[in-house]
Structure 1
Amino acid sequence: MMRLFLLLLFLATLPLLSESEPNCDRKNVCSWVETGESESAVYLQAKSLPPETHITVFTSIEGTGVESIPPTPKSFVLNGNEKTKVLLLKKKEGADPSSVVQVLTVAYYGKLGAVHDDSYAYTLPFDGKSWISTGYNSGAEHRGDAANSLDFVLTEGTPILAAREGTVVEAEDKFTVGMKDPTLIDKANHIIIEHSDGTVAIYGHLKPEGVIVKTGDKVIAGQRIGYSGNTGYSTGPHLHFEVYRPEENRRKKTFPTLFVTETGEKEYLSEENAYWNPDGKRFQGFPITNLEETCLGTLPPEKDKEPICSENIIAKKPFYLTMPIYKAGPYLLRAEFILIKTQKVILNFQEKIPAGITSIAWRIPAQTKSGKYKVKFYLDEKELGEKNFQMLP
């Protein structure tokens, strides 16, 4: 879970139309007033922003004795660290010279009105395989401005990859605590990368000292940039990923993104499914399960522990069959136990696979006939493959 912790509220109070020194927020976005012979103007500068990247600054002038041209509130886009004049200030007729004007700014990364390239195929932002625990428009956090966000379940320390080429505009890894505590909303380690179209990606909840890039670095898709963790407002180790653009009125718009997945095709990701980067492997059961990881054993499987597997099963004793599930149901998974010598089906198991599970475990009744067996697996009516084992007397 993660909220946009990049909104930076800054309020400067100064005498009416007076010259002021720059006042800077913790992102080093500065605002000040310069007064000339004929006008006063408000300037903005993002002093630490890398070249060719953007930050959007929502700006408001408050004070009864002054008006701005153009009227505020209004958002302005700063390009790199260029000094930018954004407003002219005009004293209202009869205004009290002792009155004050307030310059309010809220800064957030990205280009106002950026047009997202919806056809772009993103790289999955992690090494290995991961499940989507919270998808689009789901849970308490992935709503409203953050509706098109994804949470990937990852063990702490999993390498995080850049999903798209771009420039790092912020990197933070000093935080050490993670739990479901609202006071930790803005204390998640993170990396923020701006893309060529002006949109921005957030990689959140990284481990302490888990960032290996720095502000200004240019990265390519698939490049290792950090390590997953559980910092900030979080219910467990995961990676929060989103792509957004700034909107007016201190809002943002998140975008659903296409990813190239294990099939080699690009697709939108769905909650309670597992995905991994394409590696060319097409194992038995791909991509629903991997029959090479099917386990037969005499001990019941335990949660969060690897099952103890054997190719030799003792007859007249019940045993267990476990297998991973990568894609959410519902669908019908069926298994036929066949005695190879006679080619007869000795036992037939089937189960309707629901959404939201990562493995199944079947308890198989004791069998009396020893010999060589094979188990044939079917998804609905499609054969997935088979696995051999020996039943000992």
Structure 2
Amino acid sequence: MSRSELTGCTVALVMVLACGVAGAQPLPYRGETCSEDGVVCLIIEQPDTETASISIRTKARAELTLTLDAEVENVELSTPLPVTAVFDGPQTRTLVKLTHHRRELAWRYKNVRYSWNWGNPRAMHDDSVLYQLPMASGRPVRVLQGYDGEFSHSGSSRYSVDFDLPEGSPVHAARQGVVVQVVQTFTTAGTDASYREQDKANRVLVRHPDGTLGYYGHLKPGGAVVQEGQSIAAGQLLGLSGNTGFSKGPHLHFEVRRPIDGRTWVTFPVRFTTEQGLGLTLEKDKSYTATR
């Protein structure tokens, strides 16, 4: 399977200025628009007819990387757009200030938008780590799609593994960490582009000690048994597998990633401990048994 480029959220707020006057908005103006989960808020402030600023407020308890962009005309920017910033915990930060450039001409800014990914681009994967298989022990599970899989494991999701798990199968943590995101409200699956672009898969995202993130996708609606902010051990139960999001049938998608910016990310090839051997790279159509 594959992810869209927006694992967090994208918000657009349009503000059009003509000759420094913001439409029908009285000055001074302040507008705030938040993501549906309330983790990230976009703040636009215009105190007068000549200046404005764009800020981001986060309520996240973990690191996230955000990329901000906008369309501007006749504007001097304090920072070139797009601009990418890393936030670590709750904070408010002004990312760009705008100033009317040539006073005899109109100035405009519109389509202010952002996208974000959990994690930090500076995270370095610890290649010495061996991962546990993210399922219950006792029976072999077949790999439906491995690294460079033809159906959807390319680009950002190149180093991902899809496991053949019937809906309702236990999903266990492949590595210790802290849960940074739980999504379990989606109820449908399909191969329409919208499922992929909007990442409509139920999932659990776990931040590892090295700053990388383990992604467990396509979980059953309401199937997560962990909470955001919870510390977990390798092998701990995370939830139940399902068939939600960009999917042709029930399975578990697993990958280890870090963001490149707020729009894209990179996955890492990882090795697993199994009953079939230690330090294995999993291969398509082969079956592996978890050890605990």
TM over 0.5: yes
Give % identity.
34
Q: Does 1:89 align with 2:101?
A: no
Structure 1 position 57, deviation (Å): 0.9
Q: 1:296-324 CA deviation, whole Å, 9 max, x = no partner?
A: xxxxxxxxxxxxxxxxxxxxxxxxxxxxx
Q: Which has the higher contact order (CA 8 A, sep 6+)?
A: 2
Q: Which 10-residue stretch deviates more, 133-142 or 261-270?
A: 261-270
Aligned to 2:180: 169
**Distance apart, 1:114 and its partner CA:** 2.0
Does residue 274 (structure 1) correspond to residue 283 (structure 2)? The answer is no
Q: Tell me, in whole angstroms, the C-alpha distance in 2 between the residues paired with 1:143 and 1:95.
A: 50
Deviations, residues 45-67 of structure 1 (Å, cap 9, x unaligned): 222x12xx111111113210323
**Matched-pair contact (CA < 8 Å) for 1:65–1:101:** no
Partners of 1:103 and 1:65 lie apart in 2 by 16
The one-letter amino acid of 1:158's match is S
Q: Structure 1, residues 136-160: CA drift from partner, whole Å, max 9, x if none?
A: 0012200111111110111221110
Deviation of 1:167 (Å) = 2.1
1:335 matched residue in structure 2: none
Q: Given that residues 74 and 248 in structure 1 are in contact (C-alpha distance below 8 angstroms), is that contact kept between their aligned partners in structure 2? A: no
What is the 5 A alignment of 1:106-145? 106-128=115-137, 129-145=140-156
Q: Cα distance, 1:100 vs. partner?
A: 3.7
Residue 261, structure 1, aligned to residue 271, structure 2: no
Choose from 226, 231, 235 the match for 2:248. 235
Q: Which residue type is aligned with residue 227 of structure 1?
A: L
Amino acid in structure 1 at the alignment position of 2:2: M
> Does 1:196 pair with 2:195?
no
For residue 8 of structure 1, give the secondary structure of its aligned residue in structure 2.
coil
Query: 2:227 and 2:246 mapped to 1: Cα distance?
Result: 23
Map of 2:25 onto structure 1? none
Whether contact under 8 Å (1:264, 1:278) holds in the other structure is no
CA distance in 1, matches of 2:194, 2:71: 30
| Residue 88 (structure 2) aligns with | 79
Q: Residue 177 of structure 2 aligns to which amino acid in structure 1?
A: G
Question: 1:46, 1:178 → 2: CA distance?
Answer: 30
- Per the normalisation by structure 1, the TM-score is 0.64
Letter in 1 for 2:3: R
What is the one-letter code of the residue matched to 1:106? S
**Structure 1: which 5+ residue stretches go unaligned?**
280-393
Q: 1:45 maps to what in 2? A: 57
Structure 2: which 5+ residue stretches go unaligned?
23-27
Q: Which residue of 2 aligns with 1:58?
A: 67
Pair 157,43 (structure 1): closer, same or farther in 2 beyond 3 Å: same
Given that 1:45 and 1:78 are in contact with CA atoms closer than 8 Å, whether structure 2 keeps it comes out as: no
Moved more, 251-260 or 9-18: 9-18
Q: Which of these residues, 27, 34, 52, is aligned with residue 24 of structure 1?
A: 34
Given the superposition, is the C-alpha separation of residues 36 and 270 from structure 1 closer, same or farther in structure 2, using an over 3 Å criterion? same
Instruction: Please state whether the residue corresponding to 1:265 is helix, strand or coil.
Output: strand
Q: Give the drift of 1:181.
A: 3.7
Question: One-letter code of the match for 1:70?
Answer: T
Q: State the match for 1:9 in structure 2.
A: 10
Map 1:239-318; keep pairs closer than 5 Å: 239-248=252-261, 250-263=263-276, 265-278=278-291
Provide the TM-score with structure 2 as the length reference: 0.85
Q: Deviations over 1:104-128 (max 9, x none)?
A: 2111211123222222222211113
Distance in 2 (alpha carbons) for counterparts of 1:216 and 1:258? 26
Match of residue 156 from structure 1: 167
Task: Find runs of 4+ consecutive structure 1 residues off by over 6 angstroms.
Answer: 36-39
